[in-house]
Amino acid sequence: MAADTPFFPCDLVPRLQLASEGMANPLVLARTPDGRQPTFGLWPVALRDDLRAALQDGLRKVVLWTDRHDGRTAMFDDPGEPFFNVNTPVDQARAGTLLVAGT
């Protein structure tokens, strides 16, 4: 998971695991109403060599790789912005406001 996302859901892993039921190589990404959150997910270690090869071949959109492996998604439509990232001083100030507001 990304280190710049301080408000990710506390139940992230159980919800991803639930979405992975029945998969031989669980590959599940978090999804919000705005789209997939590819850095938040279950990534099967069994596919590491395939991912490495794809990256070495120039792959830059990781969701293209997950789609090739029948990746699933787990919906996170909780209130607030659970996958808000902090990348700039403006984002940091907003994160402080969200923290005070209880998000």
Domain that holds residue 52: 12-101
Predicted model pTM: 0.82
Question: For residue 52, what are the CA distances in angstroms to 30, 58, 72, 97?
Answer: 21, 10, 20, 39
Residues 13-60 have pLDDT tens digits of: 999 999 999 988 889 999 999 999 988 999 999 999 999 999 999 999
Residues 73-94 have pLDDT tens digits of: 999 998 888 999 999 999 999 9
Structural contact between residues 29 and 37, judged by C-beta atoms closer than 8 angstroms? yes
How many domains, the chain? 1
The residue behind tokens 């060599």 is 49
* CATH number of the CATH domain containing 77: 3.90.550.10
In a domain, 7, yes or no: no
Listed residue (69, 98, 70) closest to 82, CA to CA = 98
